[in-house]
Amino acid sequence: MSTVPITKHGAELLKEELQRLKTKERPSVINAIAEARAQGDLSENAEYDAAKERQAFVEGRIADLEGKLGSSLIVDPATLSADGRVVFAATVDLENLDSGEKVTYQIVGIDEADIKQAKVSVTSPIARAMIGKSAGDVVAVEAPSGVREYEILEVRYV
């Protein structure tokens, strides 16, 4: 299995979710199944069926998270030394050359991407265009509305 990059913050979030699933959700589902069993005939027991479905979801998510954490390469942006180049986990300030709009993005792993929090996946077109570039470089990004050009204003490792 290949390693998948993830930021330190992203790994902590996955670990917190895993802990919650194991310590709160799993016991809750087990109790719900026991209560539904106590009601009698399982063939017509909707609560039992719902609890079993929930259990399958929780166990599947636990396995998924354990797999992701087991195959991740955790990157702490504060420890990066990339000589001002854009790399995974870097935070990049950009200016759209057409509109003059300034934006800031952090390049993160696939599971961490959230455009509302200005976190873009390392596999996204904008991140792929920026990787390896430095402040002052202009990158062209293929967007659905056409090619957009951005100037990299600053690269930070925070």
pTM for this structure?
0.81
The predicted structure's pLDDT at residue 27:
96
CA-CA distance, 126 to 129, in Å (whole number)? 5
Cross-strand partners of 104 = 93
Q: Check which CATH number belongs to the domain holding 64 and give it.
A: 1.10.287.180
* 91/152 same-domain check: yes
Q: Which of 59, 74, 89 is the last residue of a domain?
A: 74
Strands 146-156 and 119-121: unpaired
CA-CA distance, 50 to 28, in Å (whole number)? 13
The predicted structure's pLDDT at residue 1:
54
* 54/81 same-domain check: no
CA-CA distance, 77 to 74, in Å (whole number)? 10
The predicted structure's pLDDT at residue 84:
87
The closest alpha carbon to 83, from 157, 138, 24, belongs to 157
The burial class, CB within 10 Å (0-12 / 13-18 / 19+), for 124 is middle
The predicted structure's pLDDT at residue 67:
93
| DSSP codes of every residue in 25-79 | IHHHHHHHHHHHHHTS-STT-HHHHHHHHHHHHHHHHHHHHHHHHHTEEEE-GGG
CA-CA distance, 72 to 21, in Å (whole number)? 19
Domain assignment of residue 17, given as a range: 4-74
Q: Give the residue ranges of the chain where pLDDT is below 70.
A: 1
CA-CA distance, 68 to 73, in Å (whole number)? 10
Domain tally, the chain: 2
